[in-house]
Amino acid sequence: MNRVLVLGGLLAGVLLSAPASAQTGIARGKVTDAQGEALADVKVHFEFLGGVKKTHDVKSNKKGEYTQVGVYPGMYKITFEKEGFTGTFLEWKINLGEPTQLPDVKLQSAAAAAGGGAAGAGARDLAAALQKSFAQAIELTNAGKLDEAAAIYTAEIAKNPSIPQLHHNLGLIHQRKGDNAAAEASLRAAIAAREDYVEAYVALSNLFLTTGDPAKGLAEAEALAAKFPESPRGHFQIGSVLFNTGRAAEAVEPLKKAEALGETDPELLFQLGSATFQASKMDEAIAYFDKYLAAPEPKNPGNVAAAQGLSAAIKAMKK
């Protein structure tokens, strides 16, 4: 009996706990051609600009999306290259903890670039100015200067209303300031700007969770999964909402669906371990906890400690 109580106490302590900062970060983004069509197999090279040699390389998938985990926090030069297209780069700050969403990158075909002339140079100047504004706004946000950051995003939205990241980031600032209505409006504007911008759906779902409306949070996650059934993010979010609202047994199916679709966030494994434990599937729980502990960083340190304790305690019970 005492062992069961200890396990339950450990699990209850992590279900609704705020995520702790990881020691590394995650970078996500998307690459398309000039017409907005996804580009696969784009080489994405991360070069740390903090005085120490740190590099990462990843390729975009068939949806043009890429994810790089285990990124040391700081400023990076991120280069994009694909045969038959002109390369480009951006400089961006990768943060700890929550994934850093990079701006969408468009690569122009080499043939089109050859005839671009002054128009092409003008477009590059505009892109560089927008990139500088993004970096400045993120730096202000990280420094807690939310009003100044919001002003930059608002000014850029007036010039570039079709860029979803601007609306998304402004929405997160509104949320931090406690203006939930404005946060929702900005996040929905991000979706209106680009319907497949999954980060906005996830942010909406989390917004409703934090404001005490889990039914709406679940509805947004379900809407994402319904629109993009082959994307793991919607299924992961459904499982996360159920998991964090005390419905762990129901969370198992959508979490497993996200795993099958290739979700790379290691916290999925922790949630699956916890959910299968609550469903009394001890062998599965041990397997997921051990897989989580073996996964690469970044991971939530609090969840790592909980997984270690739960795995060890379950194994002791089985002896």
**pLDDT given at position 105:** 87
Q: Any bridge partners for residue 100, and if so which? A: 27
Q: Which of 1-5, 65-69, 194-198, 277-281 has the lowest average pLDDT?
A: 1-5
- Residue where the block lists tokens 């038959």: 84
DSSP alpha helices (H): ranges in the chain? 2-15, 110-114, 117-142, 146-159, 164-176, 180-193, 198-210, 214-227, 232-244, 248-260, 267-278, 282-294, 301-318
Q: Where are the beta strands (DSSP E) in 34-73?
A: 43-48, 55-59, 65-71
Nearest to 186 by CA among 30, 138, 177: 177
Q: Is the pLDDT of residue 118 over 70?
A: no
- Residue where the block lists tokens 């909402």: 241
- The conformation of residue 38, written as its DSSP 8-state character, comes to B
Nearest to 80 by CA among 55, 60, 54: 60
**pLDDT given at position 113:** 53
- The conformation of residue 34, written as its DSSP 8-state character, comes to T
Confidence label for 11 from pLDDT (cuts 50, 70 and 90): very low
Contact 101, 125 (CB under 8 A): no
Confidence label for 111 from pLDDT (cuts 50, 70 and 90): low
Is 11 in a helix, a strand, or coil? Answer: helix
Residue 118 corresponds to which amino acid?
A
Tokens coding 82: 């694909």
Nearest to 166 by CA among 212, 210, 199: 199
**pLDDT given at position 131:** 75
Confidence label for 294 from pLDDT (cuts 50, 70 and 90): very high
Q: Which of 26-35, 168-177, 280-289 has the lowest average pLDDT?
A: 26-35
The arithmetic mean of pLDDT across residues 129-155, rounded, is 87
Residues 123, 127: Cα–Cα separation, whole Å: 6
Tens of pLDDT, residues 32-72: 988 889 999 999 999 988 777 889 999 999 999 999 988 88
Q: Is the pLDDT of residue 218 over 70?
A: yes
Q: Which CATH class is domain 21-115?
A: mainly beta
Residue 36 corresponds to which amino acid?
G
